[in-house]
Amino acid sequence: MSQVRILNLEIDNYSMQEFLEELESGVVFTPNVDHLMKLQHDVQFMEAYQAVEYKVCDSKVLIYASRLLGKPLKEKLSGSDLFPAFYTFHKHNPDIRIFLLGAAAGVAETAQQNINTKVGRDIIVGTYSPPYGFETDQKECDRIIEMVQDSGANVLAVGLGAPKQEMFIYKYRHAFPTIKIFLAIGATIDFEAE
Ligand code: UDP
């Protein structure tokens, strides 16, 4: 798989189908223009980005930029494109069990119901909408880790907005022993609840 460099970031050049077939484990971030601007000066955000296995394009603007650079990115794989494609791809795969972390209270549960109805099985095994500022509360983070583990999930979809979701995954990925795939999905939980 090739990568396309835009400013200081190498972006993976996958089509959606290629990526769904490839993704078995690791952390997925979905860079857009805001991320790229932040990556010009935010050292911690860059550290988080450097630690991930996958960076797939979340932006039409970055696709246009890649064309101007003569190395066109194949497709936009934003969280809101990738997440429904992911659970649909794994519709009949009992080895995929997802936990939704993020969005306002009640919203993630509605998304869970909608998705499970659509997929026809309980692919979303748990949800939690953490309170504002939770990421600085160690007890709350420990509780989340326990909750996710108890749910039996092996995929954690984190919808806390950037950079909170990326920094949370960077800090805690190794504290989730059962999770094999982490997806940073922005506001996708809200869309799935509509
Ligand atoms: N969010 C959250 N906790 C927070 C901040 C944000 O759960 O402390 C959720 C918010 O409810 C929304 C998502 O994170 O569902 C972020 O949306 P935004 O549009 O900021 O994300 P983007 O797609 O731009 O990264």
For 146-161, the pLDDT digits (tens) are: 999 999 999 999 999 9
Model confidence at 134: pLDDT above 80: yes
Q: Which residues line ligand 1 (CB under 6 A)?
A: 102-104, 132, 159-162, 164, 186-187, 189-190
pTM of the model: 0.97
- Nearest ligand 1 atom to alpha carbon 34: 24
How far does residue 155's CA lie from ligand 1's centre (Å)?
A: 19
* Residue among 61, 39, 60 nearest 49 (CA): 39
Residue-level pLDDT at 21: 98
Cα-trace Rg, the chain: 16
Model confidence at 1: pLDDT above 90: no
Distance CA 150, CA 109 (A): 17
How far does residue 179's CA lie from ligand 1's centre (Å)?
A: 21
Give the ipTM of the model, two decimals please.
0.94
How far does residue 186's CA lie from ligand 1's centre (Å)?
A: 6
Distance CA 84, CA 185 (A): 10
- Token digits for 176? 């989730």
pLDDT digits (tens, 9 = 90+) for 110-122: 999 999 999 999 9
- Nearest ligand 1 atom to alpha carbon 160: 14
Whose Cα sits closest to atom 6 in ligand 1? 160
Whose Cα sits closest to atom 10 in ligand 1? 103
Cβ-based neighbour number of residue 32 at 10 Å: 18
Q: CA dist 142 to 54, 76, 126, 158, Å? A: 26, 34, 16, 16
Peptide bond between residue 31 and the one before it cis (omega within 30 degrees of 0): no
- Token digits for 127? 């949800």
- Nearest ligand 1 atom to alpha carbon 135: 8
- Nearest ligand 1 atom to alpha carbon 80: 23
Complete domains list, the chain, with CATH: 3-68 (no CATH), 79-192 (3.40.50.2300)
Distance CA 70, CA 53 (A): 24
